[in-house]
Amino acid sequence: MARYKVIDTSPRFLAVDLEKQLLPGSFEYAVHHLLEREFDLSIFDTRYRNDRSGATAYPPGMLLKVILCAYAQGVVSSRGIERLCREHVTFIALSGDCAPHFTTLAAFVSSLDEEVAKLFAQVLYLCNRQGLIGREMFAIPQGDFLRGVDGVKLPSNASKAKSGTRADFAHQADKLEAAAQKMLERHRQNDTLPVEPDLAEKQRQKAERLQQEAAELRDWLTANPQDRKGSKGTIRKSNRTDPDSAKMATGKGVIQGYTGVAAVDAKHQIIIEAQAHGTGSEQELLLQVVRATRPHATPETLYTADAGYHSETNLQALAEEHIPALIADNGMRQRDERFKDQGKHKAKPDPLYDKAHPKKSAQRYRPQDFSLDPETGICTCPAGKPLYRNGSNCIHNGYVSTKYTGAQRDCLPCERRAKCLRTPEKTKVRQVSFFRGKAGATEESHSDRMKKAIDSEEGKARYGRRFATVEPVFGNVRHNKRLDRFTLRGRRKVNNQWQLYCLVHNIEKLAHHGYGQ
């Protein structure tokens, strides 16, 4: 009978060389090398006051090592990082077998401020020294990661149910106080009747909770006498758990969170600038990101951005500051023959999630169903009857149009009146207008100039590089690093966490290009 060696997997003490667990060429080795030999960590010294008294502190470099490497593996929670430091040999090597408590890790991440920006700048310096930054093009993505495009709109550690305006919160407080008062009156009326003790106690506790919630709302209203204002002066909803966050519409519904924006260099996909903002409007973020990246750019650096950043105000500001840019508009793909087949792909259902209702076919003829000959100016209806022109320079909502009207001899006996007119029993003839542009537009707008630039052959080629620049970056952060939400509250903390993730991406680029081996 065959005999085999006994494989014993019971616990035992083993001699392990911790430094050899960090393999050259790996991300963990690059992080260890940077924090031990390259980074200036003296910026953390000012937060400690234990030179003469108090317990010794964990080195900030060690805490950063385990946090960055945990983020690289998709572990964000401080409890999960503590477990890795106790059980995973690579993290035991990174921490020197210290196993910091999860409260220490959480407090360290939460207290980070300008130190992250300085570390980010040091990594950019090393990337530039290694020749990874080309400065030929900086691409800025649009912020809807959940929809499957380039940017990132992610929920934060905030309750969506506690969002609203001051009027909403005042109404909620009135309802809670009225409900609590009604419950108390019912208790007084039932004082003489026999009631189960447990039920009476539950009702009393419920009334107290309602009163407490109403009091919290009143305190918040007192502390915040004004509503938040948007970029155009409109009222923006506030959130009582995280006032800096915002409600945002995404492809998977409405979330309460932040928009993560980044500028990516086209040469090796290095993230040049990273910011997180509590707004779902990308237009107001473009100039902030562009101006933050100007120290890294050259006068010839081209900025490319998606349609979410397109506005006449942004284009005018870029033109006045002489910043080369290609900003797409909402109709760019409709004008580009390369996207002529996109309709058949949009018609396909989303295999993961499709909340869109099936589109209803038009019940009546629309203006595009009428044909207009540009040479003769003759308009023909779907029934083949010509319409006569009764206005060549009509202005409607600031746009110039040419108006056509059908003849009674053709419209009254027509068999298609029910499909052509909304009220065929009252309306005699059909009218249709063809718009030619804005009224009084004597000068070419910045939007018109941008459309011409992006529709040119050179513009198409240069803007086409944008897709290959930003999508892999955010695919790496979202899918490989499993960033699906921000775990902190407040713009400062969320901004630091977003920059830490972008820091992980840039260090990974350094490791892949042989840095620190």
How far apart are alpha carbons 363 and 171 in whole angstroms? 42
Q: Which residue has the higher pLDDT, 337 or 116?
A: 116
113-127, 390-404, 406-420: lowest mean pLDDT where? Answer: 390-404
DSSP 162: G
Q: Quickly state the pLDDT bin for 393 (edges 50, 70, 90).
A: confident
The C-alpha atoms of residue 31 and residue 40 are separated, in whole angstroms, by 14
pLDDT at 103: 95
Q: Which long-range contacts (CB under 8 A, 24 or more apart) does 84-89 make?
A: 89/16, 89/21
DSSP state for residue 300 in the 8-state scheme: T
Range with top average pLDDT, 297-301, 389-393, 436-440: 297-301
d(CA 78, CA 83): 9
Residue that wins the pLDDT comparison between 392 and 274 = 274
| Chain segment 103-124, per-residue pLDDT in tens | 999 999 999 989 999 999 999 9
Q: For 446-456, what is each residue's pLDDT tens digit?
A: 888 999 999 99
pLDDT at 345 (0 to 100): 61
Beta-carbon contacts of 116 under 8 Å, excluding residues fewer than 6 positions away, are 496, 499, 500, 503
Task: Kindly state the average pLDDT of the residues 314-319.
Answer: 92
The pLDDT value recorded for residue 84 is 95
Burial track 142-167 (b if 16+ CB lie within 10 A, e otherwise): bbbbbeebbbbbbbbbbeeebbbebe
> What is the band of 235 on the pLDDT scale with cuts at 50, 70, 90?
confident
User: Looking at residues 414-421, what average pLDDT do you find?
Assistant: 90
pLDDT in tens, 441-485: 556 788 889 999 999 999 998 998 888 888 889 889 988 898 988
Buried (b) or exposed (e) across 315-335, using 16+ Cβ within 10 A? bebbeeeebbbbbbbeebeee
Phi, psi of 220, rounded to the nearest 5 degrees:
-65, -40
Q: What integer pLDDT is reported at residue 101 of this predicted model?
A: 95
Instruction: Label residue 148 by pLDDT band (50, 70, 90).
Output: very low
Q: Is residue 163 very low, low, confident or very high in pLDDT (cuts 50, 70, 90)?
A: confident
Asked if pLDDT for residue 334 goes beyond 50, the answer is yes
pLDDT for 115: 92
Q: Is 301 exposed, middle or buried (0-12, 13-18, 19+ CB in 10 A)?
A: buried
Residue with the larger pLDDT of the pair 351 and 225: 225
